[in-house]
Structure formats: structure tokens, C-alpha cells
Structure 1
Amino acid sequence: MSFIVSSDGPPVTATLNASGQATAVVPATFSAGVHQAVAVYNGDSNYQGSSSGLAPVTVTAAATSTTVAATPNPSDPGQTVTVCAQVTATTPGAGIQTGSVVFTGAGSLTHTVALDAMGRACFDSATLVSGTISAAYSGQGCFKPSNGSVAVTVQPGSTCDITVTPPAGTVTVGQPTTLTATVTCNGVPVPNAVVTFHSNGAPIGFAITNASGVATGTATFTTPGTNIVTATVIAAGAPCPCTNVTSGPVTVTVQQASTCSIVLSPPSGTVTVGQPTTLTATVTCNGLPVPNATVTFNSNGAPIGSATTNASGQATGTVTFTTPGANSVTATVTAAGTSCFCTSVTSAPVTVTVQPSGTGTLKALPACYTLVFPPLPWAFARATLTATGAAPGATITFHSGGANGPVLCTAVADTNGNATCVANLTVVQIASGYTATTPVPGGFLTSSSTLTPCIIS
């Protein structure tokens, strides 16, 4: 017995059973729809052949299922992901599907891919975004359409961030300033990152981040006024791409450097080796007193004493000179709690003549003068000058004003150490007082006294 179904395929042959019936299975190659079938009996030695009338045969399309997978999933930004849809016939349907699959998804994703010999459609993409990818199989021939989907996750990219903290307090040209920058990767501190600080585009310092991601460095500004400060990561061992990441700018106002000054006042009176002498120095910052500053006094480069400034900026200390003759004395600020950069500022030198120590004390006595009539330019007045305490036989020189003033007269000390001489005085010299000097080993003894008009009773 043969069965012929339309013209879709070859005849199907079946054997009659004892009851004269034949059963055949229609091949899966028939397309879906209604087909006309006829049975043809070829006859045998006992029976003639015959055929049936047309009988409708309905072939129903098989249901399908579509499954979708993405690999890898989740993925990183820019990473290539393979998306595949597998179309499978649902039992009792069977066979390999043909046709195509349309993929759609977030980020305007649209891809149409033909099924391969295994009923699979795939595409690769490095631009996926998080969301759902849908796959629609349109159906073909004996297979019905079906849909599937997969949720894909694209993890957020690593974000490196660096922030500069504005410096606290006043920033001054030439003075060390502390700068701080914080480096994070997705909000997590980045340790051991090398950070360079810049001012107006020029590097001014660098530092390395600690375990908290904080880099603290010391920088010195050279330009007063507005400085634009940034921090840049130049090396980092973090999973974040931190290298060359730069902070937002921070405006730092830099003050002009303050001027610190220290002035040493010459000591008053006679300075003698081994005897206490008072020295005074005044420290100011931009003309204002600097209190609580430590001042060291030096003689010929060697320290001889120290003192602390009072509220008026004055440091007064007692020192003892050990070397007779000319001593070059300076005062240096060794510590100061002020915004002024006073430390190591040194005064101008002051020459102090130190008298050697000796037996006795030279003393100039007050003298009076009388006017000369008629007055002469070189002898406006005349005075008797006297000094005591000199070594007997020593020469005493009397000077107008100080020890380096013009010589008025000289005398030799008597056995009691007294010396007297008469001096002619100009109109200027009567107002200058006088000084007596006498040489001793290592220098001179000096003593000054006054000149006043003689009172005649």
C-alpha cells in the first residue's frame, strides 16, 4: 500500500495487516498546513489495484522555545560579551530550526542574526549596557515563533579621585606650607600613591599617600598673591586607573614675606673684661614688637649670653666679656613664636671696646670751665681736667667727648694715681664733656665726666 500526500514528499509505503489495514508515518519534512492524501493499492495475484479518494491531512507547526545567554555576565565596561540565542523545538516537535533571531535591548541594541546549523544565533558586543536583552525567533516553516531574554550587568567602571585640601592658616612666600591631598578608588583609600603638588602649573612638592589615602607634603610658595594649586597622581598601585589623574584647582592666597628685624643697642658706660655688662636687643616684625623671642648675644662669633624679648620686643641680658679691645657684638634670634620668619635673623654688628681688668679704677672727675676774654676760636674757654685711680707714672690722655675724640691735654699720674692738666676748649667742646684714657696691658682704661660752667662766688 502506498500513501501520497500532496506533492511535498515521496510516497510513503505501508504493509497491509491481516485485517486489510495499512498505517504509515508522515515525514517531518512536510510543511505546516493542510495537505491532500490518497491511498493507492497496487493489487496482487488475487485482487485488483484500487485507490482512495482525497483525504485532508493537517500538519501543525511545532512549538519552539528560545533561551538566551550572555558570556561573561556580569562584565566590565568595554569588555567583549558574547550573546547567544538557542531555538529548540518543543516535543512532540523535532528537527533543526531555520530562520533568524532579532536581539533588542537597552542602549538602542538591535541585532538580527541567522540561525546556524545547530539552531543557534550569536553576536559579540563591547558596548553593552546593563539591562535585559530580548531575543525574538520569528518562526519558519514547521516551527512557531518564540521569545527569550537574559538580564546582563555591566559593572560600573573604576573611578579614581584626588582632592586637595586648602592649607590652614596664613601662607607666606618662602615659608614652608603643609599641603594635603586624598586619593580614592571608588571611594576606597589608595595607599602608596605618589602625588605631585603644583602651583600655577609648576611643581612645588610631592608626597606619598598613607593607609588612609592621604598624602601630606611640605611646599614653599615663591609667588605672592593668588596661586592655583592642584595635585596629580604620578604613580599608584591600585586597580583604579589613577596615574595622571589631577584634582580640581584650589585657590591659595600667598602673603608677601614679613620683614623681621633685630637691632642691638651699644652698652652704656665702660665695659671691662670679667665684669657684668648689660646688652639690649630689640626684635620687630614689620615694625611691630615680637614678644617671647629667644635672642643670643655673640662676641667675635662666640655666644656670650641670651635673653627673651618682653612685650615691647626687647631682650635684655647680662654678659661678661673675656677679651679686651675691640669686640664685634651681634644679636641673633634663635626662636620666635610669630608669623614673621625671624629665626636666624642677625643684627648688624656693634663694636664694643672692652677694657682690660687691672688694679685700681680710672675715674674722670667733673670739671668746670671759665670763659677766656677776649675769646679765641681755639680757646673759647679754659678748664682744669682731673683723673684719679691711675697707675702712678702712667700717662693720662684727656679727650673731648668720647675716648676717640680730639685730645685736649695729657698728664702723668703722680704717686697717688692722680693726674691734672689744663685744657683750652672751643665753643663746641664745652658742651661735649670729656674722657680720660690710660693704657694698660691689653688695651685702655677709660672714664668719662662732665664739663659745666664754673661758679664764681
Structure 2
Amino acid sequence: MKWRKVLAGLASVVTAALVVQAVTAGPALADKDGSSTSLSLQSGTAFAGALDRDVMTVGVSAGNPSGDFVVGGGGKSLCSGSISGVATCTMTARALPPGTYTLVATYFGNEDTFPSSSGPVPLTVLLQPSTTSMQILDPFGSEVSGDPRLVFGQEQGYSFSAGVRGNVAGTPGGSMTITDTTASGTVTLCSGTLNSIGGLASCPLGASTLPVGTHQITATYFSDGVYVGSETSRTVTVVPVQSTTTTLTLSSPSVPFGSEQTEVLTARVTNAGGGTPTGTVTIRTGSTPICGFTLSGGTGHCSPSASLLRPGSYPLTATYNGDVTNTPSSDISKTLVVDKQPTTTVLTASADVIAFGSEDAELFTVEVVPAVSGTPTGNVTVKNGAVAVCTIILATGNGCFLRPTQLRVGSYQITATYNGDSTYAASTSLAQPVTVVEALIRKNADR
């Protein structure tokens, strides 16, 4: 019935045009040529909210086919123009709401040609497809990729941002909601009217907004009569804060001073929920940091710096500092012993044979060599068996001499014992043979 009304309206337009021509032209009307108007559409389908992608082609057959034309439908003038045989036109965006229409092209004629109208041509206007998108933003405004895991009670600062676009052209209007669906049902987190660019204002979460569990967050766009409704979903998992256990292991219970870097301290952090904790671990003795690391797969290791700790016994504390889903925890069960650094003592005698009474000519010198590094301090005792014969102070760099007649005639095994200090361990040299001879024999030997 609608197209009949359209045709009746267009017929009135044509009749009026003919009357005007009859009044102005008078007898010359008999000299006018008849005309025939045609209308064709590329496919007969258009999308609401978009320029008509189906081009309308109007053709006029007449002796002098010039003048104006209009294409009407739905009680509206959809497009118009001037023609010289054949012309095209397109209707403007939102010219017609979705529906089925009958279009008619009307040619208004000219001084030589009568007006005419085309036959009815059907046009279907469809709702335009739309696409809804949604982003999850962290408290810093950065987009969260994948399906995020949030901690119950710590959701505050996270938000959802949603928008919709027309798949052909234009910007949708209307409204949108963001809902949360769980096993217990669906609740609306926020809703509102789309702004001028097709977006919904940010939908923030408060602390404890989402209970522990799996949530399907859905942004739903409702059709505004021009665009088809659409929706999109993201999965969000909310977990409780997990308690953790930290376990510290040592590669060796003791390490020499200066070689602490060879000690490997390993910490493993587990939680009650079976997830993998992230974050950092710090290892201290008392308030002194020993070393630290970032967990990888729930574990990690580090070593002290060389010479960081003096020789002694050090109770260790490995502290996991926690992350957003895991509580801090510590292990205080281990102790690291730093031993004194081993040394090697080398004794040198100025002579291996001396004359009795001239022992003060015998000079003993020593070198104390640390196993790793540094400079040992303290003193060295030069001994004949268990009896000390002289002492060397390492700081002076000098040796020591025997006293005259200190040793009787005979053979001796002389050793040097480094007595150690707070850092370096004691050590004893290999025995150095020394022979004391009668002075006369020595003089005769000199001849």
C-alpha cells in the first residue's frame, strides 16, 4: 500500500508540471515530444546510516532529453539532478530508515519535451552491521592483554572501556551496557549512552567489586534503529591472595673468606593455590643484605660478593617480598660459615750450614701466600721442632736471626709457622735443614 501512496504523490507532481506547461506554453504544447523515463539500481540494497552504495541511474528517452529529475521514495525526495539522456545520483546518509521502499524517478521535461515518470523500482534498506570492542585497563591506564587475573580486594583502579563502530560507515548512537556473568548469574557493572565517537565512558572497578571466581565480562550494544546490535566478551579471573612458603638451600655450609662468590644461595617460593609466585627475594644476615634476585618459575639463586663477610658464622634470612597475588614469606633455618682463608708459608734460610757461635749470621725469611687474595698480617714463629728460635713480624717485611750459641752442634729441621689473623688461617712451612758445625772445622773448611 505504501508504494501506491508514493506513486499517487508523484503523479500529483507530474500533473502539476503538466498544468504549468499548459498555462505557459498554450498552443505550442502540440509541438512537444513525448518522453520515457527509466530508473535502475545497481543491486537494490542499501545500508542505513551510509551513503547509498547502490547507485541510482536515471535515463530519459526523448528528442531533447534535457532538464531536471528527482528520485523519490518513502514520501521523500531522495536525490535529484540535471539530465541529458542519462544521469546518476545517490541518496544521503540516513535518508531512509531500514525497510522496503518503492522508488520512482520523475523527469520534469523542458520546453520541447513532456515530463514522464519511471515505473516503480524496489529498494531494501538494511540495518548496518556493527562491531563492539572492549578493553581492560590497569590502574596506570595501560591496556591489559589476554585474560587477566585480578586479586580479590585489589581490583580498584582497573576499568573497562568499550565502543562500537559501523562496519560500513558512520558512527552508531544509542546505548551500551557492560555486564558480569558468573555461575551465580548476571549483574550490570555499568551502562550509558554512547558519546559522539561511539564510545561508552570508562567503567571502573572498586575494591571487591568482583568476587573470587571466573567472570565473563560482556559489552553489549543495543541497536539504535540504524545499526545492528553487537557484543563482545572478555574473561577475568579473580583469585584470593595466596599464602607462600620460602625455602632456602646452600650449595655448601661453609666457604673460605675471599671465595664467597662460589657459594650459591637458592630460594624456592611456592603457594597454597598452586600458582607460580613472581617478584623478588632478598637474602640477609641480620640487617646486612647478602644478595637478591628476581624469581623465574618460582625460584632463583644468587651469590655473596667476595670478601663481603669476615670469617665467622652467619644466620641467613631469605625473604620473599610478595606480589599482587602472593603474601611475603621467609626462611630463617640456614647458617653460612665463612672460614678463614687458607695460607701457605714458605721459609728461606740464608745458609744451610753455620758455625757454632756464629748462628747470628743465619737469616730466616718467610713469605705467607693467601689461597685467594689479600695480604695476611700478624707474625711467624721460626721453630726448631717445638722450640721457638725467633719471630718475624710480617708488617716489617724483615726476617729474624738466631742468637750466638743458640743451637748446639748438630743437624736441625727448622720450620716457620704463620700464626694467622682474623681473616687468614695459620700454616706451617716445610722443614728447612740447618747444620751447626764446630767453629774450627768451619775455619779449616774455609782455608
TM tier, shorter chain? 0.3 to 0.5
Richer in helix (by share): 2
TM-score by length of 1: 0.34
Larger strand percent? 1
- Greater RCO (Cα-Cα under 8 Å, separation 6 or more): 2
Q: TM-score, normalised by structure 2?
A: 0.35
For the pair shown, the structure with the greater C-alpha radius of gyration is 1
